[in-house]
C-alpha cells in the first residue's frame, strides 16, 4: 500500500483517473527569413524655359533612378543596398547617366525603439523631412538643394523612436564629405536630430518639432563647420506643411535660408504645391540672396506613382529672374 501511495504522490495524474493529460510544452517560434524585398523609383521631368535669354529651350530629363534590395537576415539583423543613377557632373566632358551606390548598410535593430546602421547611411535631417512631406521628385529640400547637407554619407548612425512616436531621434558619426566623395582628411562629422511630435497618438494629425545640428571636427589647421536646422511640420486633414530654417557657419561665413511649403491634398483628385525659399549664401555680402518659388498641382495614380505640373521661378536679389514650366513624374514599385 505504501508503494502505491508514493507513486500516486509522485505522479498526480495517476491519482485521479479521468483527468486530462498535461498539455505539451509549446515550442519556441523560429524566426523565418523573409524574401529579399526589391523596389525601384524613377524621377523624370520635361521642362520649358520661359526666360527670355533661353530662347524657348526645353528638354526631357531623367533626374534619378533608384534600385533597392532590402533583406532581413534574422530577427535583429538586416541589410539594405540602393543603387542610384544620375548625371554625376553637368559640367564634365562625359555626362552619361551613371550608376553609383546611394545606400549600403548593415542594421542591428530592436523594433522601432533603436536601430544602429553601419555603411553608407542616411543622414539625420533631410531624409526625415522628405519622409514627412514627400515630393522629392518635384524639388529637393533646401538643405540638400543648396549643398548644406548630403542625404547620405559613410559612417555609423543610431536612431530610435519612443512613446509611440512622441519622441524620435537620430545620431551619427560620418566622414562628412557626403556619399559621393571619399574621406579627404582626418576630420569627422558628428550630427544629432531630435523630433518631438505631441500629436503622435492621432493618426490623422501630426506636429513634429525638429532640431538638428552637425559639427564637422576639422583636421589640424582646418576650419570647423557647423550646420543646423529648426523645423515645424504640420499634418491636418487634407493639408501638409513644412516650415524650416537651415544654416551653415564656417571660417566666418554664415549661410542660411528659410523655406515654407504648404500642400493641400485631396488624394482622389489633386494635390496643390506651394513653396517659397529665400536663401542667402553669405550673410555679410550684399546682392547674393535669391527667392525661389514653386507652385503647381499633382495627382497620385498609385502610392509611388505621381505626375505634377509646376511653375518655378528663381529671382536673384540683383539681376533677371529665370522661370519655366515643368512636368514632373515619379514611378515606383
90 by Cβ neighbours in 10 Å (0-12 / 13-18 / 19+) ranks as: exposed
The pLDDT tens digits of the residues spanning 150-159 come to 999 999 999 9
What is the number of domains present in the chain?
1
Q: Produce one character per residue of 58-81: b if its CB has 16 or more CB atoms within 10 Å, e if not.
A: eeeeebbbbbbebebeeeeebbbb
pTM equals 0.85
Q: Does some domain include residue 326?
A: yes
Let me know if residue 42 belongs to a domain: yes
In a domain, 279, yes or no: yes
**Looking at the domain assignment, is residue 15 inside a domain?**
no
Query: Parallel, antiparallel, or unpaired for β 290-302 and 305-316?
Result: antiparallel
pLDDT(330) > 60: yes
> Is residue 20 in some structural domain?
no
Statement: residue 14 has pLDDT above 50: no
Whether 137 contacts 104, CB under 8 Å: no
Place of cell 549643398: 147
> By C-alpha distance, which of 69, 62, 78 is closest to 40?
69
Q: How far apart are CA 119 and CA 155, in angstroms?
A: 6
CB within 8 Å of 143: residues ≥ 6 apart: 125, 126, 129, 149, 227, 229, 244, 246
Taking only the tens place, the pLDDT of each residue in 231-244 is 999 999 999 999 99
Quick: pLDDT tens for 115-144. 999 999 999 999 999 999 999 999 999 999
Per cent of the chain over pLDDT 70 is: 88
Query: Residue 131 domain-assigned?
Result: yes
Residue 45 lies in a domain: yes
Decide if pLDDT at 265 tops 60. yes
Cell of 218: 576639422
Residue of higher predicted confidence among 240 and 22: 240
pLDDT at 19: 58
Mean pLDDT of 201-213: 95
pLDDT exceeds 70 at position 175: yes
Nearest 5°: CA angle at 59, between 55 and 62? 155
| Average of per-residue pLDDT across 17-35 | 66
> How far is Cα of residue 279 from the mean position of the Cα atoms in its chain?
22
pLDDT interval class at 100 (50, 70, 90): very high
Helix (H) or strand (E) holding 38: strand 37-49
**What residues make up the domain containing 263?**
33-332
CATH number of the domain that residue 125 is part of: 2.40.160.10
Rounded to whole angstroms, the Cα distance separating 317 from 331 reads: 36
At residue 87 the predicted structure's pLDDT band, cuts being 50, 70 and 90, is: confident
Is residue 157 domain-resident?
Answer: yes
Could you tell me the pLDDT band of residue 22, with boundaries at 50, 70 and 90? low
What's the CA gap between 103 and 5, in Å, rounded? 71
Q: Where are any strands of DSSP class E within 73-220?
A: 77-87, 97-110, 114-122, 152-162, 167-174, 188-196, 209-217
The residues near 152 (Cβ < 8 Å, ≥ 6 apart) are 102, 103, 120, 121, 122, 123, 127, 178, 179
**Which three three-digit cell numbers place residue 63?**
533626374
pLDDT tier for residue 32 given thresholds of 50, 70 and 90: confident
Amino acid at each position: 500500500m505504501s508503494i502505491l501511495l508514493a507513486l500516486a504522490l509522485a505522479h498526480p495524474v495517476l491519482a485521479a483517473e479521468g483527468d486530462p493529460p498535461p498539455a505539451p510544452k509549446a515550442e519556441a517560434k523560429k524566426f523565418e527569413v523573409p524574401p529579399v524585398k526589391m523596389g525601384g523609383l524613377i524621377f523624370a521631368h520635361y521642362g520649358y524655359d520661359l526666360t527670355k535669354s533661353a530662347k524657348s529651350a526645353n528638354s526631357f530629363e531623367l533626374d534619378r533612378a533608384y534600385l533597392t534590395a532590402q533583406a532581413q537576415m534574422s530577427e535583429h539583423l538586416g541589410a539594405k543596398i540602393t543603387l542610384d543613377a544620375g548625371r554625376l557632373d553637368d559640367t564634365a566632358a562625359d555626362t552619361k547617366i551613371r550608376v553609383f551606390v546611394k545606400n549600403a548598410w548593415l542594421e542591428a535593430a530592436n523594433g522601432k525603439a533603436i536601430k544602429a546602421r553601419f555603411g553608407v547611411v542616411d543622414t539625420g535631417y533631410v531624409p526625415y523631412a522628405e519622409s514627412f512631406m514627400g515630393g522629392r521628385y518635384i524639388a529637393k529640400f533646401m538643405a540638400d538643394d543648396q549643398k548644406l547637407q548630403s542625404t547620405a554619407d559613410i559612417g555609423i548612425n543610431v536612431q530610435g523612436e519612443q512613446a509611440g512616436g512622441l519622441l524620435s531621434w537620430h545620431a551619427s558619426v560620418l566622414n562628412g564629405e557626403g556619399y559621393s566623395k571619399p574621406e579627404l582628411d582626418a576630420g569627422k562629422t558628428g550630427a544629432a536630430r531630435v523630433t518631438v511630435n505631441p500629436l503622435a497618438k492621432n493618426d490623422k494629425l501630426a506636429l513634429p518639432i525638429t532640431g538638428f545640428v552637425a559639427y564637422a571636427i576639422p583636421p589640424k589647421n582646418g576650419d570647423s563647420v557647423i550646420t543646423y536646422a529648426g523645423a515645424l511640420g504640420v499634418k491636418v486633414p487634407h493639408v501638409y506643411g513644412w516650415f524650416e530654417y537651415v544654416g551653415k557657419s564656417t571660417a566666418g561665413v554664415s549661410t542660411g535660408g528659410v523655406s515654407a511649403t504648404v500642400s493641400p491634398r485631396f488624394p482622389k483628385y489633386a494635390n496643390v504645391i506651394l513653396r517659397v525659399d529665400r536663401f542667402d549664401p553669405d550673410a555679410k555680402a550684399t546682392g547674393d540672396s535669391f527667392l525661389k518659388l514653386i507652385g503647381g498641382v499633382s495627382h497620385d495614380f498609385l502610392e509611388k506613382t505621381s505626375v505634377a505640373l509646376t511653375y518655378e521661378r528663381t529671382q536673384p536679389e540683383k539681376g533677371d529672374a529665370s522661370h519655366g514650366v515643368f512636368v514632373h513624374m515619379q514611378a515606383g514599385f
